[in-house]
């Protein structure tokens, strides 16, 4: 039997944080959860960081994973090993985490644990914690940290629209990513230990304007990363991989602005798809990654509440399946609409994967963090859309 690579109890890590940790490290293996309140252990199977199957008492697959969010007391251990379990779960990891946390908050998942855990916290802090899950990453490589800085609770670390090219790693504490709106500040994301503050655009020698405010939720310790070393690593990348990273960052920033517009009731879906036809349909199988040579494309997600516009793409942006990263967009979770002059070139995914594998662990973690932020911001935009529809329906009732 293999020795456990990670073990502990839920008093230290919650299931959502644990799934993030295993996923961000690309783990392949078995997570086993035991509880004094369950006769059999719960199991979640991973392949390269993706959740592929689960088992909890009488439930299997995605239902079992959601059920395990209700196990509020217990111990866990993750063992890296070859996994023979059938892949029955195709949902994005962050989607699963967010749905699991939401289902707990709404009482849709039965809690398993001591009675004291059934008590719901009250107050503003509890509301923030339930609405904005914390994104965490692996331990930071201190070889890349050139200085450390501390900020007290409530301090504005970065102001939206200010200039800056440095990147921080969060060593301890949490920060909120906030957008200024006519209705007041809006928290989009919350980042915790192992996450990054800053943009890959810093490495491309372009003017870097901060697109959001960053506020310390509690006392925060940040590590200033060695920008010269990271810029040098970026410089060694192929032109295709550089374009991919810049496009990924551009998509993240566009999506953040789009979430704000949807929050304010400005869903411009019809403008997004005007004079465009679908070239990649949500949920359809697509194994390739493409670089846009000409024309424009729009990324649209279909939800029960309607269509949610996510990003506008153009020359040197990418569409399709990323072999090493799931951002919760096309092809599984969004469609691509394109103009008549749309033209693409198919990228060599093996070459892209090989180049990614040769990156330093910290650079890979930085890319993974951006992908997680895209996935989580997408979810926030969809939630804003759902609430807007509910409010509209309520007013018309």
Task: Tell me the per-residue pLDDT of 27-48, one tens digit each, with 9 for 90 and over.
Answer: 899 999 998 778 889 999 999 8
3-state DSSP assignment of residue 335:
strand
Q: Identify whether residues 75 and 182 lie together within a single domain.
A: no
| 229 and 242 fall within a common domain | no
Residue range 333-347: mean pLDDT, rounded: 95
Strands 156-158 and 50-56 come out as unpaired
Phi, psi of 173 (to 5 degrees): 105, 180
143 pLDDT more than 70: yes
Answer yes or no: are the C-beta atoms of 84 and 30 closer than 8 Å.
no
- Three-state DSSP at 379 gives helix
Q: What pLDDT was estimated at residue 154?
A: 94
Residues 267, 387, single domain; the answer is yes
| Structural domain that includes position 72 | 6-120
Whether 34 and 22 map to the same domain: the answer is yes
Q: What is the pLDDT of residues 193-240, one digit of tens each?
A: 889 998 887 776 555 788 899 999 999 999 999 988 999 999 999 999
pLDDT at 124 over 60: no
Note whether 306 and 318 are same-domain residues. Answer: yes
How many Å apart are CA 324 and CA 240, to the nearest integer? Answer: 15
127 is a domain residue:
no
Residue 128 belongs to some domain of the structure = no
Tell me the pLDDT band of 164, cut-offs 50, 70 and 90.
confident
CA distances in angstroms from 202 to 5, 54, 235, 246, 352, listed in the order given: 35, 40, 12, 10, 21
Asked if 332 contacts 93 with a C-beta cutoff of 8 angstroms, the reply is no
Determine, yes or no, domain membership for 81: yes
Instruction: Provide the whole-model pTM.
Output: 0.76
Residues 367 and 345 in one domain: yes
In whole angstroms, give the CA distance from residue 24 to residue 304.
Answer: 29
Residues 383 and 241 in one domain: yes
Domain count, the chain: 3
How high does pLDDT run on average in the chain? 86
The dihedral of CA 80, 82, 86, 91: what is its sign? positive
Do 266 and 226 have their domain in common? no
Looking at 184, 218, 234, the residue that finishes a domain is 234
CATH of the domain at 263: 2.60.120.10
Q: Do 264 and 380 reside in the same domain of the chain?
A: yes
Domain boundary among 70, 85, 120: 120
Are 345 and 245 part of one and the same domain?
A: yes
DSSP 337-364: EE-TT-EEEE--HHHHHHHHHTS-HHHH
Give the DSSP per-residue string, 184-253: --EEEEEE-TT-EES-GGGGGTS--B--SEEEESS-EEEEEE-HHHHHHHHHTS-HHHHHHHHHHHHHHH
Residue range 74-112, pLDDT digits in tens:
889 999 999 989 999 988 888 888 888 878 877 788 877
Q: What is the dihedral of CA 234, 235, 239, 240, to 10 degrees?
A: -20
pLDDT at 25 over 60: yes
- Residue 293 confidence (pLDDT) above 80: yes
């Amino acid at each position: 039997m293999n020795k456990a690579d990670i073990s502990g109890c839920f008093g230290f890590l919650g299931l959502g944080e644990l799934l993030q940790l295993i996923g961000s490290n690309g783990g392949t293996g078995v997570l086993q959860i035991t509880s004094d309140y369950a006769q059999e252990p719960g199991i979640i199977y991973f392949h390269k960081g993706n959740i592929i199957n689960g088992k909890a008492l009488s439930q299997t697959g995605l239902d079992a994973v959601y059920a395990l969010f209700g196990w509020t007391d217990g111990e866990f251990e993750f063992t890296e090993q070859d996994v023979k379990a059938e892949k029955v779960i195709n949902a994005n990891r962050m989607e699963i985490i967010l749905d699991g946390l939401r289902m707990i908050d709404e009482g849709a998942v039965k809690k398993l644990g001591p009675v004291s855990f059934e008590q719901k916290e009250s107050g503003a802090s509890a509301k923030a914690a339930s609405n904005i899950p914390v994104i965490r990453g692996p331990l930071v490589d201190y070889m890349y940290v050139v200085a450390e800085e501390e900020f007290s609770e409530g301090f504005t670390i970065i102001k939206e629209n200010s200039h800056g090219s440095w990147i921080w790693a969060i060593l301890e504490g949490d920060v909120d990513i906030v957008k200024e709106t006519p209705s007041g500040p809006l928290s989009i994301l919350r980042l915790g230990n192992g996450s990054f503050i800053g943009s890959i655009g810093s490495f491309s020698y372009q003017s870097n304007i901060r697109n959001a405010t960053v506020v310390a939720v509690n006392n925060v310790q940040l590590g200033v990363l060695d920008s010269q070393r990271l810029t040098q690593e970026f410089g060694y990348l192929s032109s295709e991989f550089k374009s991919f990273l810049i496009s990924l960052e551009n998509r993240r920033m566009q999506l953040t602005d789009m979430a704000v517009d949807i929050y304010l009731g400005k869903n411009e879906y019809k403008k997004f798809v005007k004079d465009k036809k679908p070239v990649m349909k949500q949920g359809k199988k697509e194994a390739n990654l493409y670089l846009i040579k000409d024309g424009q494309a729009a990324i649209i997600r279909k939800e029960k509440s309607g269509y949610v516009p996510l990003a506008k793409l153009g020359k040197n942006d990418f569409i399709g399946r990323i072999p090493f990263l799931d951002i919760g967009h096309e092809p599984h979770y969004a469609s691509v609409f394109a103009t008549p002059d749309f033209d693409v070139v198919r990228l060599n995914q093996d070459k892209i994967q090989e180049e990614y594998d040769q990156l330093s662990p910290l650079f890979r973690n930085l890319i993974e963090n951006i992908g997680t932020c895209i996935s989580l911001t997408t979810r926030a935009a969809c939630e804003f859309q759902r609430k807007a529809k509910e409010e509209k329906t309520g007013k018309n009732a």
